[in-house]
Structure 1
Amino acid sequence: PFLLFDHFGPINYEPGGATGVPAHPHCGFEAITYLLGGEVEHKDSWGGKATIRTGDVQWMTTGSGLVHSELVTDKFKQSGGIMQGLQIWVNLPKKNKRVKPGYQHILKENIPIIDANDNIRIKVLVGKVKETQSIIQTYSPVSIFDIQFKKEGKTKLDIPIEEIAMVYVIKGELQFAEANQIATKGQMIFFDQSGAEINLTSISSSGSYLVLAGKSLNEPIARHGPFVANTEGEIKQAMLDYQSGKMGQL
């Protein structure tokens, strides 16, 4: 169900140097932004508006189409600083491709936390982990969570065998003894679907690892730039909808 994964930054902006992303359209998918540094103002053509700060999460359902911008706040522009974050596109099922667009903003202090032990903390960004449910509502059955280690350690996670599972190294190093491999910052690990659990061994003094899991939709995908659909004809219609103003304006 995952269409795109982008780790933007880290970029250290001088005062007055940061701008952000100006208004542009989307349709046909849902997008999560997990801000790891900086401060951004979200606005969209369906009335969504929020200031996203370090540690916050936003979930945007583009559905039938919207226009949005992600510009840095005046405060961040004036002060400068480090901007970085993760953005992930999640495909919408065919039956939900043209739902009404929506927006959800979760402050970092409202993200559900699991303190597995004195070493491991799990931030449940989307979906359900160990009976703890995120407050974000989604159309696609996906789970996204940040596992943070204070020191070296191990943990085991139950992932349904029918789901695709991946882990992205935000910070630290993961050791996979069976494959005699070590994954480092910026690398993504794909797990085969041979079992209903994954084992993570962090060998760093501290680590942060983003786990993504979800069922494949097994539906055709058509994509052109910011638009996602099931057929090329639907892509052409999305372009016409944007050009005619049906996706709204900012």
Structure 2
Amino acid sequence: MAAIQKITRLQMQWDTQDPFLFCAFHNDNFPKGNGKLGPVDSLTGRNIGQDFTQKDGWAMYHGSKVPGFPAHPHVGFETITIAERGFVDHSDSLGASGRFGKGDVQWMTAGKGVQHSEMFPLVNTEKENPLLLFQIWLNLPAKSKSVAPYFGMMWHENIPVVSKEDSNGNNIKVKLVAGSFDGQKALNPAPDSWAANPDNGINIWLISLEPNAEFIVPKGIDGANRSLYFYEGDAIAAEGFDIPPMHQIKADVNELLRLKNGSSPAQLLLLEGKPIGEPVVKHGPFVGNSRQDIEKAFSNFQETQFGGWPWSTNEHTHAPETERFAIYPDGKKEEL
């Protein structure tokens, strides 16, 4: 059987396979900051509150003064947010908050319900504020959809990166957000995650290839789904196909997948895992197994607000000079 099953062009929201729900990709060339975490450039001509047009190479999204996503609820799945460039200011209904970036990863289990905000603070006033971010939605099985919410941080200093050379001495790096590669294991995922059971074969890798590097993606666990997302570079060759950037490769985990990079550094994201294999019903930020699950989630949110919003604004941010940190629901604080 051929290693490659399908090649498709990527949009802003990337198509995924079970157990993943989708992946949002943000690659914004934000301008200098105005000292208040917003852009120094004028917002004239933007549909504030619903700005997704990428005018001048960036968007405000749902933010009014600072780009990002003000307070909103989630139910029934997990978000894994990888901030490779730029920063995210997090606040939630558990009382947790933080600022992360520079390659950090936030792992949040929504479970029975949580509210959070994700703002993109433009902390630099003397230079531009580029953002490169992935938010991966990983489903929860029915038995775990009503677990307590969880908030956790993986600081980039602690995330394993496997460095190798191909036969010609070209460098390859594999950053392990979840799973394992070449004998190295990733940090522990959230405790109630589908990824917490190694038998489910969840792998989330960021793959960096030097020009002309050759890399063989090893076989995965039988029955798993595999997708690679080529998001930065000029071209890669894969099993006889020449693939331009911003394309997805759906591949067979039972076959080796041979990649040869082109003349520029390349970056890929790999998402892999055994499917949960249950019905999926989505309505905005709520995910269930049935329409009744969604109706129950709406009712619970209307009644409880998932604990309420403890912050003074739905677009809560932290002081411009604040370094990376996290405050957990139990009050524990980490500062980087």
Q: Decide: shared fold, TM above 0.5.
A: yes
Provide the C-alpha distance between the structure 1 equivalents of 2:297 and 2:126, rounded to a whole number of angstroms: 37
For 2:230, which of 169, 183, 189 is the aligned residue?
169
Q: Does 1:187 align with 2:205?
A: no
By percentage of residues, which structure has more strand?
1
Provide the C-alpha distance between the structure 1 equivalents of 2:132 and 2:125, rounded to a whole number of angstroms: 14
TM-score of the aligned structures, taking structure 2 as reference length:
0.69
Provide the C-alpha distance between the structure 2 equivalents of 1:204 and 1:2, rounded to a whole number of angstroms: 32
- Within a 5 Å distance, the mapping from 1:81-230 to structure 2 comes to 81-117=129-165, 119-138=171-190, 139-141=193-195, 142-158=202-218, 159-172=220-233, 173-178=235-240, 181-193=241-253, 195-230=254-289
1:46 positional shift: 1.7
Q: Does 1:27 align with 2:75?
A: yes
- Code of the residue aligned with 1:245 in structure 2: it is T
**Residue in 1 aligned with 2:332?**
none
Number of equivalences: 247
1:77 positional shift: 7.8
1:14 positional shift: 4.0
For 1:71, which of 119, 126, 129 is the aligned residue?
119
SS in 1 for 2:103: coil
**Residue in 1 aligned with 2:102?**
54
Contact 1:50 1:105 in 2 (8 A): no
RMSD of equivalent CA atoms: 1.9
Unaligned stretches of 5+ in structure 1?
Answer: none
Classify 1:121/1:222 alpha carbon distance in 2 versus 1 (closer, same or farther; 3 Å). Answer: same
Identity, % of aligned pairs? 31
- Code of the residue aligned with 2:187 in structure 1: it is I
For 1:9, which of 27, 46, 51 is the aligned residue?
27
- Which structure has the larger Rg over C-alpha atoms? 2
SS in 2 for 1:245: helix
For each residue in 1:111-144, what CA deviation from the matched residue of structure 2 results, as whole angstroms up to 9, or x when unmatched? 1011122511111011222221111324213210
TM-score of the aligned structures, taking structure 1 as reference length:
0.91
Contact 1:161 1:196 in 2 (8 A): no
